[in-house]
Amino acid sequence: MSAAHAPEAPNAVLADVLPGARVRDAVLIVSGALLTALFAQISIHVPGSPVPITGQTLAVGLVGATLGLRRGMASLSLYVLLGLFLPFYADGDSGWDVVWGASGGYLIGFIFAAGAIGWFAEHGADRNIVLAFVAFVVGQLIIFAFGLVGLKIAVDESWSWTIHNGFTIFIFGGLVKAAIGAAILPSAWGLVRRFER
């Protein structure tokens, strides 16, 4: 039985429910990059911080969990690459100055976070609301780890300033996004199981 017809197979993620292989994967990778670009336009500026609150981190988690480790990383790598030339980053920004700026570390963190969440999903975390929440939180922590280093280099402020303006003020929103992702994924698997019957 192929993974397309056995969503409960080991290492299967939601993308494996769809038929095909190479074409399917290419379409899904591009779709994940476009979804992230769309969610990037949900942007709220925070007074005192050069980094806005965006929908990108939710998209990163959903893309990683849906596509798995390799395809998730490929999709977010494509997103970062396309944003160099197209207005894909938050607020329709693009170019190298964004990657080298205050948000650049977060962008690089997206790639590794999608991979980590994809790995968790391949091991069944996306089927359980608690494990999915943990996976999303781990992904967010990876994004913040890269983001804080990039922010510190870009703005050359103290570590206390960097942590406050690049992490602390985003904790609540990050937990909300993790909860949303954790609610969506098991529900999606429930729909898949219903249609498989």
What are the structural domain ranges in the chain?
Answer: 3-196
Q: Tally DSSP H helices, then E strands, for the chain.
A: 8, 2
Q: pLDDT 10s digit of each residue in the chain, 197 long?
A: 344 444 556 677 877 777 667 888 899 999 999 999 999 999 999 888 999 999 999 999 999 999 999 999 999 999 999 999 999 999 999 999 999 999 999 999 999 999 999 999 999 998 899 999 999 999 999 999 999 999 999 999 999 999 999 999 999 999 999 999 999 988 887 777 777 66
**Helices 171-196 and 56-67: crossing angle, nearest 10°?**
30
Residue 10 has a pLDDT of: 64
Q: Is 156 exposed, middle or buried (0-12, 13-18, 19+ CB in 10 A)?
A: exposed
Q: Is 32 exposed, middle or buried (0-12, 13-18, 19+ CB in 10 A)?
A: buried
From residue 43, give the alpha-carbon distance in Å to each of 39, 57, 163: 8, 11, 20
pTM, two decimal places: 0.87
Residue 197 has a pLDDT of: 62
Place of tokens 């596509």: 67
Residue 8 has a pLDDT of: 54
Which of 1.10.630.10, 1.10.1760.20, 1.10.10.10, 1.20.140.10 is the CATH number of 3-196? 1.10.1760.20
The CA distance from 147 to 187, in Å, is 30
Which positions ≥6 away from 193 have C-beta within 8 Å? 7
